[in-house]
Amino acid sequence: MTTVTEFPHAVTEVPDLGIVLSDGCRLSARVWRPEGAGPVPAILEFLPYRKRDGTVVRDALTHPYFAGHGYACLRVDMRGNGDSHGLMDDEYSPQELADACEVIAWIAAQPWCSGAVGMMGISWGGFNSLQVAALQPEALKAIITLCSTVDRYADDIHYKGGCLLNENLGWGATMWAYSSRAPDPALRNSWREDWIARLEHEPFLPAVWLRHQRRDAYWRHGSVCEDYSAIKAAVLAVGGWGDSYKNAVPQLVANITAPVKGIVGPWVHKYPHFAVPEPRIGFLQEALRWWDRWLKGAETGVDDDPAYRPYLMDGVRPASWYDNRPGRWIAEPVWPAPGIAVAELPLSDGRLGQGGGAFATLVASPQSCGAAGGEYCAIWLGPEMPGDQRGDDALSACFDSAPMAETDIVGAPVLRLRLTSDRPVAQVAVRLNHIHPDGASTRITWGVLNLTHRAGHATPEPLPVGQAVEVEVPLDHIAYRLPAGHRLRVAVSSAYWPMIWPAPEPVSLVLSGGTLALPVRPVAAGAEWSFAAPETAKPLGLREIRPAAHVRRSETDQRTGTVSLVIEDDFGMAENLDHGLITGSVARERWDIHPDDPLSARGDCHWTEEMIRDGIHLRTEARCRMWSDATTFHLAAELDAYEGDRLVLSREVRETVPRDHL
């Protein structure tokens, strides 16, 4: 990674520019502008994650780089977050999107702006870039969306295949902590009153999301798959195979009628110029080509780029973390690619693709099956990747291929199953695994299905007990090379903890038929595309006070039989040498279950956030828990805020939500 210090333009920074909305709410923007460039296009990143401390490290690498090349860059804190006024109500709310459209119009009207605006972001910023583009604000000409989704129900942190992801609580706990932090006292005298108001009104989002267990109007709002044609701005979509959001890029490229290109690397949930696993790419140079074409009208050649450029990963041994993934970039001029064929591999008695025939295979997994699944959204750079799958495979029904020729799997596999359940509410988890000659098992891709959602996520219905049903389980998109002589395995389980919340009763499924639809691309002879090496602007100066440390530990209580996953993420503490703010945070999660009892499932989360400025020491302790009985989910949360050692506010939340075919 090369640090660039000389740009075509010197850069001027404004740390706290106020944007006053039509209702009087003042949003705080950090702005970088090129000196002597005249009116220039602008690039907006609109987030709740706090420009003063939360995204400051990555902002330093990115926005000065664009500004130095002739763009005005704005990192705006959303209403009720960071240094902006107002109160936040939810993620991607109508208020948030209306605010973003108003900010875009404000930017376009400034004398230093040419009137052309782009929007970019990763995760939350990738989501709302797409959603705002679908609203068609006049000045918005192009976006770059990273690690995002087209369907808020099917492909975010809430539900997958109609199953409740435990990340619904985990990320909700993160926002419970993130939004509890005060504005920087250096920026306004009213910070204390504003902090208290924020704490008093902060929504407990896990309960909000849990009240919508079907794909209803709540989730259709902001899901751009409802009408891809609404997006008129040019879209560059970027993702990572190590991330949870694997499907949006190929879906966008396949469906948007506006100019669109897609790139998917081997990365976790990070920007590609500093992401891991490597190889990284020159994302900022690639982004400049996009901005120059669609915001300045320059002929940069992006129109002629392939529609879809995924990184084809070599099949490697399982590990909970990778520094590098060997492979090569491939390129598809159009997507879906006509050269990709679908191989139909039937399931038989323990075999995959080796002839059909009648069989009856029992699936009755312990509730603890899924321990090797890794983190749903790998982001914190700890041991979060799926490890060796042999332990979970032993608790699943497995169907193995014969040794195969070298095979490039590119696309989204689908498993069709015929099954019979002894309970009206049940779920299946499917993993497509790479089996090495010594038996090691690497997860290639996966999917889950709440079987009551087999006919759709809007209208679940109980399973007919004792009657065979046909279902389809889509797996996530992937680009993966199976080495010659290695095998594929389809592993099917009736539980996948702690990835998803269990069904209310132990379930026995009998599989009696099935076919894996496997997308197979002709084997790539070598690299079909190359990117420039990554460049960044100068990194932020930090003084480390406490180093970061990450723990992921499995425990079994030998007395009770309870199995637990313990996660401890200490993000350290550091001083920002630009403006002196000291911040630190620690996150803790614990996920407990007894292998025989789905109603023993419990999730506990606890975040500590600290901020120190000129003798002011602020701390919040944000806790939440979830458990269930056969009919009801139960949630509890506490939020304690301290100034020094003095407790200034304490809140408790208690919620019960009926289970709806879940």
pLDDT tens-digit map of 173-221: 999 999 999 999 999 899 999 999 999 999 999 999 999 999 999 999 9
**What is the mean pLDDT of the segment spanning 366-371?**
98
Contact (Cβ atoms closer than 8 angstroms) between residue 408 and residue 436: no
pLDDT at position 356 over 80: no
pLDDT for position 1: 84
**What is the mean pLDDT of the segment spanning 349-375?**
94
Mean pLDDT lowest among 164-168, 213-217, 380-384, 512-516: 380-384
pLDDT for position 380: 83
**What is the mean pLDDT of the segment spanning 387-409?**
98
Residue 522 CA to its chain's centroid (Å): 30
pLDDT at position 39 over 80: yes
Q: How confident is the model at residue 229 (pLDDT cuts 50, 70, 90)?
A: very high
% of the chain surpassing 70 pLDDT: 100
What kind and span of H or E run contains 480?
strand 478-482
* Residue for token pair 């993130």: 178
What one-character DSSP code corresponds to residue 225?
Answer: G
pLDDT at position 34 over 90: yes
Q: How confident is the model at residue 358 (pLDDT cuts 50, 70, 90)?
A: confident
**What is the mean pLDDT of the segment spanning 599-626?**
98
Q: Are strands 260-265 and 308-314 parallel, antiparallel or unpaired?
A: parallel
Q: Residue 96 corresponds to which tokens in the numbers above?
A: 């948030």
How far, in Å, CA of 551 to CA of 549, rounded?
7
pLDDT at position 458 over 90: yes
3-state secondary structure of 535: strand
635 Cβ partners below 8 Å, 6+ apart?
Answer: 169, 204, 206, 207, 210, 624, 625, 626, 653, 654, 655, 656, 657
pLDDT at position 81 over 80: yes
361 Cβ partners below 8 Å, 6+ apart?
Answer: 349, 350, 397, 510, 511, 512
pLDDT at position 79 over 80: yes
How far, in Å, CA of 658 to CA of 656, rounded?
7
Tell which CATH architecture fits domain 341-521.
Answer: Sandwich (2.60)
Torsion of CA 300, 301, 303, 309, to 10 degrees: -110
- Burial class from Cβ neighbours inside 10 Å (0-12, 13-18, 19+) for residue 646 reads exposed
Q: Residue 346 corresponds to which tokens in the numbers above?
A: 């039937």
Contact (Cβ atoms closer than 8 angstroms) between residue 55 and residue 77: no
**Residue from 189, 190, 94 nearest 135 by CA:** 94
Amino acid at 404: M
pLDDT for position 90: 96
Torsion of CA 4, 7, 13, 19, to 10 degrees: -110
Q: For the segment 573-589, what is each residue's pLDDT rounded down to a tens digit?
A: 999 999 999 999 999 99
pLDDT averaged over every residue in the chain: 97
pLDDT for position 33: 98
Q: How confident is the model at residue 382 (pLDDT cuts 50, 70, 90)?
A: confident
HSE-CB of 604 using CA atoms within 13 angstroms: 9
How far, in Å, CA of 362 to CA of 396, rounded?
9
Contact (Cβ atoms closer than 8 angstroms) between residue 392 and residue 372: yes
Amino acid at 530: S
**Residue from 243, 244, 178 nearest 205 by CA:** 178
pLDDT for position 130: 98
User: What is each CA distance from 525 to 308, 309, 481, in whole angstroms?
Assistant: 18, 15, 12
Q: Where are the domains of the chain?
A: 2-152+221-238, 341-521, 541-658
pTM listed for this prediction: 0.97
3-state secondary structure of 432: strand
- Topology of domain 2-152+221-238, per CATH? Rossmann fold (3.40.50)
Q: For the segment 251-284, what is each residue's pLDDT rounded down to a tens digit?
A: 999 999 999 999 999 999 999 999 999 999 999 9
Q: How confident is the model at residue 318 (pLDDT cuts 50, 70, 90)?
A: very high
Q: Are strands 549-556 and 563-576 parallel, antiparallel or unpaired?
A: antiparallel
